[in-house]
């Protein structure tokens, strides 16, 4: 079981290797803090949707599976959205419409029709996928922010305003990486790197 976990985290990272669940993630990967927040929201939504949706699926005919997942996911994502807008309005504004968009994410809806399994299995799978999504997105955001803006943005704490400027990079950033094309290019090369470095399955 823990083998499953580490496999989905790196060797078969759904985000980096199979490139699913991209839509909300690409656009906000300009700052590290966005990636961490979106990752946390995704983890929460995956766990909740997996458990609640999976439990409901036992009682419903197959054609209801996807709509029910969609509704459960939208309720959980709304909860995340409200929570963040109350406790961290500035960070919430940085995510814009891309946090609510998690509700139709393929990672969340892709598990429709796979309900009725043991609780532990569902939870572990959700944790693995959520962690993999967060790790992949964090790598992408780190790359884009470091090279595209020369900064690293974390949570503001006390007198620390949350932005680290990297000397040497902050002066002349490669702004393309911070713009929309940069997200696609950076993820493309990151994913190629992930495939190249994957132990065992070099070919195919």
Partner 1 sequence: MSAVGIILTFTFVNNVVLGQLLGVCPILGLPRRPALRLGLMPAAAMPAAALASWAVRRLVLVPLGLESLQLIALCLVLALFVLLPDGGKAGWNLPVTNCAVLGVGLLTAGSGVLGSLVTGLAAGAGYLLAAVVFSGLRERLEMERAPRALHGLPLYLVTAGLMSMAFLAFDRVLLARLAG
Interface with partner 1 by CB under 8 A: which residues?
18-24, 26-27, 63-64, 66-68, 70-71, 73-75, 77-78, 81-82, 97, 100-101, 103-106, 109, 176, 179-185, 187-189, 191-193, 195-196, 202-203
| Shorter beta-carbon distance to partner 1: residue 51 or 70 | 70
Q: Tell me the C-alpha to C-alpha distance, in Å, between residue 22 and each of 39, 72, 133, 173, 195.
A: 12, 20, 9, 25, 17
First CA to last CA distance, the chain:
26
Specify the 3-state DSSP secondary structure of 94. helix
| Shorter beta-carbon distance to partner 1: residue 105 or 134 | 105
What is the C-alpha to C-alpha distance for residues 16 and 180, in angstroms, rounded to an integer?
18
| Shorter beta-carbon distance to partner 1: residue 96 or 116 | 96
| Shorter beta-carbon distance to partner 1: residue 71 or 124 | 71
175 and 53 Cβ atoms separated by less than 8 Å: no
Work out how close the CB of 2 gets to partner 1 at its nearest, in angstroms, rounded to a whole number.
27
Work out how close the CB of 165 gets to partner 1 at its nearest, in angstroms, rounded to a whole number.
26
The answer for residues whose C-beta is within 8 angstroms of residue 63's C-beta and 6 or more apart is none
What is the C-alpha to C-alpha distance for residues 149 and 169, in angstroms, rounded to an integer?
7
| Shorter beta-carbon distance to partner 1: residue 128 or 194 | 194
Q: Which two tokens stand for residue 5?
A: 């976990």
What is the C-alpha to C-alpha distance for residues 45 and 33, in angstroms, rounded to an integer?
18
- From the CA atom positions of the chain, what is the Rg in Å? 18
Work out how close the CB of 155 gets to partner 1 at its nearest, in angstroms, rounded to a whole number.
24
Work out how close the CB of 167 gets to partner 1 at its nearest, in angstroms, rounded to a whole number.
28
| Shorter beta-carbon distance to partner 1: residue 9 or 25 | 25
Work out how close the CB of 85 gets to partner 1 at its nearest, in angstroms, rounded to a whole number.
8
Work out how close the CB of 79 gets to partner 1 at its nearest, in angstroms, rounded to a whole number.
10
What is the C-alpha to C-alpha distance for residues 48 and 78, in angstroms, rounded to an integer?
13
């Amino acid at each position: 079981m823990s083998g499953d976990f580490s496999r989905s985290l790196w060797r078969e990272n759904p985000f980096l290797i199979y490139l699913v669940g991209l839509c909300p993630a690409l656009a906000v990967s300009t700052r590290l803090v966005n990636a961490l927040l979106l990752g946390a929201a995704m983890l929460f939504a995956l766990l909740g949707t997996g458990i609640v949706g999976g439990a409901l699926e036992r009682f419903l005919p197959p054609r209801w599976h996807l709509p029910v997942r969609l509704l459960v996911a939208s309720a959980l994502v709304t909860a995340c959205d409200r929570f963040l807008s109350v406790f961290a309005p500035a960070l919430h504004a940085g995510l814009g419409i891309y946090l609510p968009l998690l509700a139709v994410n393929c990672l969340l809806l892709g598990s429709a029709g796979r309900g009725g399994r043991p609780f532990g299995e569902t939870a572990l799978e959700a944790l693995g996928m959520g962690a993999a999504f967060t790790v992949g997105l964090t790598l992408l955001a780190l790359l884009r922010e470091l090279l595209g803006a020369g900064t690293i943005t974390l949570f503001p704490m006390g007198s620390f305003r949350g932005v680290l400027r990297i000397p040497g990079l902050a002066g002349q950033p490669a702004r393309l990486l911070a713009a929309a094309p940069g997200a696609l290019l950076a993820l493309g090369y990151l994913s190629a790197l992930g495939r190249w470095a994957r132990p065992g399955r070099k070919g195919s």
